[in-house]
Amino acid sequence: MTRSLVSSLLLSTALAFPAVAQEAGPDGTPLAEEQVFTYRELDDIKSFDPQISTDVSGSKILRDLFEGLYNDDIDGNQVPGMATDHELSEDGKTYTFNLREANWSNGEPVMASDFVYSWRRLVDPETASEYAWYMELMGVENASAIVEGEMEPEELGIRAVDDRTLEVTIETPLPYFISMLTHPSTFPVPEAVVEELGDAWTRPGNLVGNGAYTLTEYNPGERVVRERNPEYWNDEETILDRTVTLIINDENQGLTRYLAGELDMTDIPSGQYPRLSEEYPDEAHSFPRSCSYIYWFNQGENGNPALKDERVRKALSYAIDRDIIVERILQGGQYPSYNWAHQATAGFDLPEIDYAGWTQEERNERAKELIAEAGYGPDGEPLTVTIQYNTDESHRKIAVAVSQFWKQTLGVNVELANYEWATHTDRLQDGNYEIARYAWCGDYNEASTYLDLMTSYSDHNVSGWTDETYDELMSESKTMQDPNPNYTEAEQILADNMPFAPIYQYTGVLMVDPQVRNYPFDNLMQNWYSKDLYIAAEDASSSSSAN
Amino acid sequence: MLVEQQKMESLAGRLVEEEVKGRSPWADARRRFVRNKAAMLGLVILVFVGAFALFGPYIAAWSIDELDFMVLGQVAELGGPSIETGHYFGTDDLGRDLFARVVQGTQISLMVGLVGAAIAVIVGTLWGAIAGYVGGATDNVMMRTVDILMAIPYMFVLILLLVMFGRSIAMLFFGIGLLSWLDMSRIVRGQTLSLKNMEYIEAARATGVSGFRIILRHIVPNLLGIVAVYATLLVPLMILTESFISFLGLGVQEPLTSWGALISEGAGTMQYGTLWQLLFPLFFFVITLFGFFFVGDGLRDALDPKDR
Amino acid sequence: MVSFILKRLAVAIPTLLVLIVLSFVLMHAAPGGPFTRERAIPPEVLVNLNARYGLDEPLWKQIGTYLWNIVAHFDFGPSFVYPSRTVNDVIAQGFPITLTYGAISFLVAVIVGCSLGVAAAIKQNSWLDYLAVGISIGAQVLPNFVMAPILVLVFTLWLGWLPGGGWNDGQWEYLIMPVVALSTSFMASIARITRSSMLEVLAQNHIRTARAKGLPTRRILLRHALKPAMLPVISYLGPAFVTMITGSVVIDLFFSTGGIGLFFVNAALSRDYSVMMGITILIGGLTILFNLVVDILYAWIDPRIRY
């Protein structure tokens, strides 16, 4: 207790003279006087409660307000957060984490029991957390049974050995378990504060966290402000004083305000990257991001019967000119896609898919043959399919282009059905569609986050397509030292059966002020932390703009 | 941007007055209308826009959904208006011909305007005429219903409807026409009350003509003037409503389009060097609204001259 | 008068009831629910969520509970999409913002619109008249979703005079563009109405007489012409208010003001039942209230009208 008091005193003295303490960034770059970072977010933040939050924009803020056992570094590797290190048992099922001495922003120490409380809270049916399934995905012992209400939350496979030692038991060994710990739903929350204030505990002024920043202002639909937390264990090395999230619904408005100097970071609207990268080469960035965009072919009972024919699905997929979509419509350095998992996924060998190597003419030829074989197309039965997509500029453009490819190459008539998001998603999940756009973003940086989705037992596989060999390959891969051969084989099955047409793999396309340094462009998961960023002084801009 | 109730009431009063005097208001009105320059200009504009919507498809060199792969990806550089490429109005962001799309948008927007106004007029006239003619408790119930509906935030309900039933032209017609008949019904009711006790109607009633028939045969025809004016002024309101709905992304389905959809697409990209995408649809939108306002105002002034 | 107000208030209750039931049913009939997610929530989790929000009850019971909570506790329930906030929170935070820029826009529209209209009427057929008519016609048909981005482009990016959005507790520089974008078309309508009704009044006999007697023009205007000329403007204000609230959607979207307009659209799109209902009821109530105020104003100005 005395120790933490002394250290917090030291830290607050350091804070009183930030200019003296920090004149240069980690690599010696001179720093700007004002260390404030402002970025745009599309929608309002759903919640500041780690166990309740569900949205990506909320996660960014939660990573600043709280800290889990591990953090991502700038390249996406896991580095110690609240845990200094851990041991793994022989059978690969029990993790023992050693926690560092750290405080909550109210000065109370962070204990192993705080993690126990938070993880139980996540799976407790009483909390009704939407992300309760994340703990099931992590395979923490008894998580599923607790979510279903068959067991008590106290029976979750987590326990505090002592104040600084945490033990977690999982059901089967999971090679990427540690990488899953950077997700906000696993972050600790202060039991006393949560119990005392209830739902109101996340308001500015009430919220107590263990992250590098505290929540100081929240104006719904307008802005979120967080400022450095002097109680943070590594506050000394934190440079950025304040991070501001501005909620700007319209991406073109966002860009205008970025160009007017009101923002340090904003998304580039689709199609604008080439022009902006020419005009502002230091500011426009495109880098891989772990999401994959596809068109589902519904083979279920409410789908179009023609789509049950593998040849039709292949023909439709082959006839899509992905290069045009990527290079002429999206224009943000996205990757044309012929497989499922994002090609930049860690340790994933991109399999050799036959049609990926063909020219578009070859693909079109093959597509025409296939559709004729199946008895459709210009000389066969007329075929009409419906593409369903949700309201969005890019989705609209891609759907229009694809409908033209199919019409011109295959003589297939296409109807476009635009629904707003909730209806689109609902129809997808009910299997009530013919062809529908979909995108999956990886939960962690490993190919199984994609490939597991196509198993017959996945909740997310809405195509009605199942394959026993595929299921076996995937369940076998869980315990393999190197699962890549199985992944390659699984991807091959998908290419042969074409339950969906891959379209493209994502890139993040951002305008970032060149003064902003250390943004993790190389982290496929795009987990960034304000504590790692800093603002370089104006005259330092030319010296090192690495990206 | 709403119909001025005051003037409509004045017009209604005037038309009844003429009826009492047993004179047709139409002959004088026509002369006055032709002399009104703004109204005639409006009429010319409307004829022009109508012709554009009807004959545009024959002039367009491209279809509405064809992508021009020569242009796609470099729309700002290559997609501008040009006679050579056949894109008289340039192309949209996907390299689709904007001329063809503006023609198509004009058709849809005019249709929404006309059908929406027609629904409002038909429902409003019948509702008001029945309430006014029958009177008593029926009148009371019908007009209280109108009062209640008038307090409903119309646009909010429309958004809900489109969200719930999905977007389609039919839903748009229905939704837009749904609540716009309320004002109409009030005015018509007032006028019906004045007409109801006139001699020829009483005579008709005495000879045993049914109530509904009297409404259709004798009352509605006498409401024609006010209905015509009201409808003309309602069309631009419907078009404006549709543009707002399209802006919210709840308008017609691709590849069909409307002025609202084209304008909001064009407005989104106006700082990226493709200003024609905003200006062409906006031009047709603006002149059409002018046209309807001028004609509507002219029609009203012609039927209800202040220098009587 | 009092009995008139009471009568109107009596109509308000069934109106609100119709509104609540109508939107409740519409909302629940729509495909998708508040827990529809891109990645489907597993059924066992969904059960917990539905239980927490009472969505596992039959619809009539849900409506009943909902109404009871409003009547008994003035509680509009929790938000489904913003789990840590209640509908009361959402409205308490967003509505003052909407009200602030809405009221200012309203005043600007009325004051500028009326002045412009009166000026144009007095100087009929002068350049001022033509200018006023030209502006008002142009402004009436330019949609505010075109005007808003143009304003930002000009005043934020090119001139650098005004911030491109945000609220900042309603500091004046943050208010200017929202107010201009919201008020312009109403200002134009009001100017048009004022001009034509003023012209009509000026042509009436008693004004002509007063003029012939040589009374100063200003006095004639203020004493005799202005009041009757305002009647059509006042009857326009009721519907204008509602249209203005609708317009706030565009303002919130382009200027990130954080008002309730955008919250409503987002709530409808994401099936946030309770927020959507709360805002609908609020707007419905305001509409009724405003129509009542307009009627009273009307009666006060025009003594011929008796209720």
Q: What are A503-514's pLDDT values in tens digits?
A: 999 999 999 999
**C94 to chain A: nearest residue by CA?**
A220
A128 interfacial to chain C (CB closer than 8 Å): yes
Q: Do A38 and A64 fall within a single domain?
A: no
| Residue A218 in domain | no
pLDDT by residue (tens digit) across A484-503? 889 999 999 999 999 999 99
- The verdict on A150 touching C (C-beta cutoff 8 Å) is no
For residue A149, the domain's CATH number is 3.90.76.10
Residue A176 contacts residue A493 (beta carbons within 8 Å): no
**3-class SS of residue A214:** strand
Q: Based on the fold, state whether residues A242 and A148 are members of the same structural domain.
A: no
Residue A20 has pLDDT above 50, yes or no: no
- Within-domain flag for A273: no
Q: Give the pLDDT confidence score for residue A6 in this predicted structure.
A: 40
Q: Compute the nearest-CA separation of B73 from chain A (Å).
A: 4
Provide the token pair at C76: 């509009």
d(CA C15, CA A453): 49
What is the SS3 assignment for A124-191?
CCCCCCCCHHHHHHHCECCHHHHHCCCCCHHHCCEEEEECCEEEEEECCCCCCCHHHHHCHHHCCCCH
Residue B6 distance to chain C (closest CA, Å): 6
Query: Alpha helix locations (H) across C123-259?
Result: 127-141, 144-151, 172-202, 205-212, 217-220, 226-255
* Minimum distance, in Å, between the CA of residue B251 and any CA atom of chain C: 14
First vs last Cα of chain A: how many Å apart? 44
pLDDT band at A265 (very low <50, low <70, confident <90, very high): very high
**Token pair in block for residue B230:** 């009201």
Closest residue of A to B269, CA-based?
A: A252
Residue C80 exposed, middle or buried by CB count within 10 Å (0-12, 13-18, 19+):
buried
Residue C38 distance to chain A (closest CA, Å): 6
Which of the four pLDDT bands, split at 50, 70 and 90, describes residue A234?
very high
Least trusted range by pLDDT, from A232-236, A431-435, B171-175, C179-183: B171-175
Choose the weakest-confidence range: A93-102, A229-238, C188-197. C188-197
Taking CA–CA distances from A199, the nearest residue in chain C reads C84
**pLDDT per position as a tens digit, C150-206:** 999 999 989 989 998 888 887 888 999 999 999 988 888 888 888 888 887 877 777
Number of domain units in chain A? 3
- Asked if A42 has any chain C CB less than 8 Å from its own CB, the reply is no
How close does chain A come to C244, measured CA to CA in Å? 19
Closest in A250, A401, A418 to B253, CB measured: A418
> pLDDT, tens digit, for every residue of A320-350?
999 999 999 999 999 999 999 999 888 888 8
Q: What is the pLDDT of residues A363-376, one digit of tens each?
A: 999 999 999 999 99
Residue C4 has pLDDT above 80, yes or no: no
Q: Are C164 and A253 in contact (CB < 8 Å)?
A: yes
CATH number of the domain bearing residue A335: 3.10.105.10
Beta strands in A376-426 (DSSP E): 384-390, 413-419
Q: Do A99 and A87 touch, CB atoms closer than 8 A?
A: no
The yes-or-no verdict on residue C134 having pLDDT over 50 is: yes
Return mean pLDDT, chain C: 82
**What pLDDT does A11 receive?**
42
Is A58 in contact with A184 (CB distance < 8 Å)? yes
A27 to chain C, any CB pair closer than 8 A? The answer is no
**Residues of chain B found within 8 Å of residue C31, distances taken between Cβ atoms:** 164
Contacts of A43 in chain C (CB under 8 A): 266
* pLDDT level of residue A1 (50, 70, 90 thresholds): very low
Q: Is A275 part of any domain?
A: no
A99 and A52 in one domain?
yes
Considering the domain boundaries, does residue A329 fall inside one? Answer: yes
Q: Could B151 and C284 be called an inter-chain contact, meaning their C-beta atoms sit closer than 8 Å? A: yes
Instruction: Please judge whether B268 and A393 are an interchain contact, meaning their C-beta atoms are less than 8 angstroms apart.
Output: yes
Residues A49 and A172 in one domain: yes
Chain B interface test: which of C129, C242, C290 (most B C-beta within 10 Å): C242
Confidence of residue C294 (pLDDT cuts 50, 70, 90): confident
Residue A216 placed within a domain: no
Residue C256 pLDDT greater than 80, yes or no = yes
Residues A432 and A469 in one domain: yes
- Contacts C232 to B, Cβ<8 Å: 4-7
Chain C positions in Cβ-Cβ contact with residue A248 (cut-off 8 Å): 165, 256
Q: How far does chain B reach from its first CA to its final CA, in angstroms?
A: 28
Structure tokens at C174: 């943050």
Same domain, A162 and A294: no
Confidence category of residue A13, pLDDT binned at 50, 70, 90: very low
**Residues A503 and A410 grouped into a single domain:** yes
Residue A280 counted as domain residue: no
Question: What does the H/E/C string look like for A442-506?
Answer: CCCCCCHHHHHHHCCCCCCCCCCCCCHHHHHHHHHHCCCCCCHHHHHHHHHHHHHHCCEEEEEEE
- Cα–Cα distance for residue pair B158/B148, rounded to 1 Å: 16
pLDDT of residue C8: 74
Is residue A53 within 8 Å of residue A69, measured between CB atoms?
A: no
- In whole angstroms, what is the distance from residue A447 CA to residue A439 CA? 15
> What are φ and ψ of residue A346, in 5° steps?
-55, 130
Task: Determine, for residues A423 and C263 on separate chains, whether the beta-carbon distance falls below 8 Å.
Answer: no
Of A144, A178, A211, the residue at which a domain comes to its end is A211
pLDDT given at position B307: 45
Nearest CA of chain A to the CA of B253: how many Å?
A: 6
Q: A35 and A98: one domain?
A: no
- Nearest CA to CA, how far is A34 from chain B (Å)? 31
Mean pLDDT of chain A: 88
The Cα of A418 is separated from the nearest Cα of chain B by a number of Å equal to 6
Determine, yes or no, domain membership for A370. Answer: yes
Yes or no, beta carbons of C45 and A429 under 8 Å apart: no
* Residue in B2, B152, B306 closest to C236 by CB: B2
Contacts of A485 (CB under 8 A, 6+ apart): none
Assess whether pLDDT exceeds 80 at residue C239: no
Q: What is the pLDDT of residues A32-47, one digit of tens each?
A: 889 999 999 988 888 8
How many interface pairs between B and C have CB atoms less than 8 angstroms apart? 126
Is residue A149 left, alpha or beta, with left meaning phi > 0 and alpha meaning psi from -120 to 50?
A: left
Nearest Cα of chain C lies from the Cα of B109 at a distance, in angstroms, of 15
Residue A219 lies in a domain: no
pLDDT 10s digits, A382-397? 999 999 998 888 899 9
| Model confidence pLDDT, tens digit, residues A50-59 | 998 888 888 9
pLDDT band (50, 70, 90) for residue C128: confident
Stretches in chain B below the pLDDT threshold 70: 1-6, 16-25, 305-308
Residues B180, B230: contact at Cβ < 8 Å?
Answer: no
**Dihedral sign (CA B161, B166, B170, B173):** positive
Of the CA atoms within 13 Å of residue C277, those in its CB half-sphere come to 29
State the Cα–Cα distance between residues C263 and C244, nearest whole angstrom. Answer: 16
- How far is it, in rounded angstroms, from Cα A508 to Cα B229? 55
Q: In chain A, which residues have their Cβ closer than 8 Å to the Cβ of C262?
A: 221, 249
Inter-chain residue contact C163 with A262, CB threshold 8 Å: yes
Say what the pLDDT of residue A94 is: 95
Which of C30, C189, C287 faces B1 most closely, judged by CB atoms? C189
Q: Do A246 and A350 reside in the same domain of the chain?
A: no
- Mutate which: A253, A293, A432, vs C, most C CBs within 10 A: A253
- The label of the residue with tokens 């304000």 reads A530
- DSSP secondary structure string, A40-80? EESS----S-TTT---HHHHHHHHHH---SEEE-TTS-EEE
Shared-domain flag, residues A541 and A404:
no
Tell whether A160 and A21 lie within a shared domain: no
Residue A151: pLDDT over 50: yes
Chain A residues in contact with B94 by the CB 8 A cut-off are 329, 397, 400-401
pLDDT band at residue A377 using 50, 70 and 90 as cut-offs: confident
A272 has a chain B CB within 8 A of its CB: yes
Least Cα distance to C262 among C180, C153, C188, C178 occurs for C178
pLDDT, residue A201, reads 92
The domain in which residue A36 lies consists of 1-42+225-264+513-523+535-547
Element (H, E) at A245: strand A242-247
Q: Supply the pLDDT for residue A10.
A: 41
Q: Which residues of C touch B270 (CB under 8 A)?
A: 149-150, 153
Q: Average pLDDT in the A447-468 region?
A: 89
Residues of A in contact with B251 (CB under 8 A): none
Q: Do A499 and A519 belong to one domain?
A: no
Average pLDDT of the residues in C63-75: 84
